[in-house]
């Protein structure tokens, strides 16, 4: 039987979106939490049930719709275009102990050896890797501390976007979204990527302390309180737990889904790998692992991560799913295997004409 690891969002972080029932083509109002007019697709701020209530039968075959079949096709194209991914000889991992679903919360180190036996660090000199790694040290780890974004850090954001947009993978993604009438130019696309991913919002006490990029790729360690972060376990949250999305809150790690970040911190002795609960079907890279680990004393119960992909691959897939299926499971195909990604929009603040920041994105491990 297949076990689906769910990543459920609490109402104190992601307030439940309103329905589009009876609201189709309602004029835009900034007071609304989500929207039901034709422009909401362009601004990725539709209510979750927009397609069910507001699109006529047959919309999935119309020119601008992103149908399920489109997602399967474009994701295979992006998979094939990941020319910067690790080769089989570039990485050697040692997964060791496989935890059962009822063991992921035990916080026991079942694997005495590190996860990564070897990584060819020549990968990190490639432009997209190098510009990505420079971004990783730009963030405070604990939520609630205002980020001081320097001019140099803004240049690093721009440089990362410039480098990823040089790749065939991101050019294919833009061409797809342009064809679907989501963006009129590459310049508009890049400007939106910068806001969507790097725009700051508050996960703490009103301080502009977090961004989608930081949460997903860098992570943080949640202090105080009870319950868990990142409880992607069968059946949802463990009893009495609260999910903290991003970084370190409530004493556990949330976010932190990137293999490069994990490798660099494990090498420094800051991350301790405990076990894995899922190993994807791929016999090459990118692969997918669901893993348990501690980061500087903070625990991650299930962290799903691509292993061995390029930064642009993760960045592109998460962007695709956030635009095409915000707040829903986004079903993709990679090398002939099915994989789903879940994204959530940040609902407490917006940019532009009601556009939503990306709050989190992660692989739903089967």
* Best CA proximity match to 116, nearest among 289, 282, 283, 266: 266
Of 85, 215, 249, 356, which one is the catalytic site residue? 215
Residue 166 annotated among the catalytic residues of the structure: no
Q: How far apart are CA 171 and CA 78, in angstroms?
A: 10
Q: What stretches of the chain show up as alpha helix (H) in DSSP?
A: 50-54, 68-80, 127-136, 151-165, 168-179, 186-198, 212-213, 259-267, 311-324
Specify the DSSP class assigned to residue 233: B
User: How far apart are alpha carbons 210 and 217 in whole angstroms?
Assistant: 12
Q: Which helix or strand (DSSP H or E) is residue 350 part of?
A: strand 337-351
Active-site hit among 35, 44, 249, 257: 257
Residue 178 is a catalytic residue: no
Q: Is 257 in the active site? A: yes
Catalytic residue, from 44, 249, 252, 300: name it.
300
Dist. CA 6–CA 230, nearest whole Å: 10
DSSP string computed for 128-161: HHHHHHHHHTTS-SBTTS-----HHHHHHHHHHH
Beta bridge partners of 93: 116
Rg (alpha carbons) of the chain, rounded to whole number: 19
**DSSP character string of 83-132:** TTSPPTTTEEE---PBPPGGGTTS------S-SEEEE-GGGGGSHHHHHH
**Please, are residues 172 and 235 in contact by the beta-carbon 8 Å criterion?**
no
For residue 349, give the nearest of 244, 195, 233, 142 by alpha carbon.
195
Residues with catalytic roles: 215, 257, 300
């Amino acid at each position: 039987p297949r076990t689906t690891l769910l990543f459920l969002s609490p109402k104190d972080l992601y307030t439940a979106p309103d329905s589009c029932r009876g609201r189709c083509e309602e004029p835009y109002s900034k007071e609304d939490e989500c929207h039901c007019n034709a422009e909401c697709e362009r601004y990725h701020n539709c209510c979750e049930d927009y397609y069910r209530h507001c699109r006529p039968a047959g919309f999935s075959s119309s020119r601008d719709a992103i149908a399920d079949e489109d997602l399967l096709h474009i994701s295979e194209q992006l998979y094939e275009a990941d020319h910067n991914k690790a080769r089989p000889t570039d990485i050697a991992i040692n997964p060791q102990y496989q935890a059962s679903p009822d063991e992921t919360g035990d916080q026991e180190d079942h694997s005495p050896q590190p996860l990564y036996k070897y990584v060819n660090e020549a990968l990190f000199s490639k432009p997209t890797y190098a510009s990505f790694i420079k971004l990783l040290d730009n963030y405070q780890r604990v939520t609630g501390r205002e980020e001081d974004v320097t001019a140099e850090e803004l240049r690093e954001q721009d440089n990362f976007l410039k480098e990823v947009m040089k790749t065939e993978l991101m050019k294919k993604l833009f061409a797809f979204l342009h064809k679907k009438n989501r963006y009129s130019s590459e310049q508009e696309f890049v400007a939106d990527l910068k806001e969507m991913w790097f725009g700051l919002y508050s996960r703490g006490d009103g301080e502009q302390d977090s961004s989608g990029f930081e949460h997903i790729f860098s992570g943080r360690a949640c202090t105080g309180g009870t319950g868990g972060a990142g409880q992607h376990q069968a059946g949802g949250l463990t009893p009495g737990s609260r999910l903290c999305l991003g970084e370190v809150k409530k004493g556990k790690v949330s976010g932190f889904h990137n293999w490069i970040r994990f490798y660099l911190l494990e090498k420094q002795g800051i991350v301790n790998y405990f076990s894995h609960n899922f190993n994807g079907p791929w016999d090459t890279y990118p692969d997918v692992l669901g893993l348990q680990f501690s980061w500087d004393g903070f625990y991650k119960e299930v962290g799903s991560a691509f292993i061995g992909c390029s930064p642009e691959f993760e960045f592109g897939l998460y962007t695709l799913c956030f635009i095409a299926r915000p707040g829903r499971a986004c079903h993709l195909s990679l090398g002939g295997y099915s994989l789903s990604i879940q994204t959530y929009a940040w609902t407490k603040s917006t940019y532009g004409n009601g556009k939503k920041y990306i709050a989190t994105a992660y692989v739903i491990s089967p």
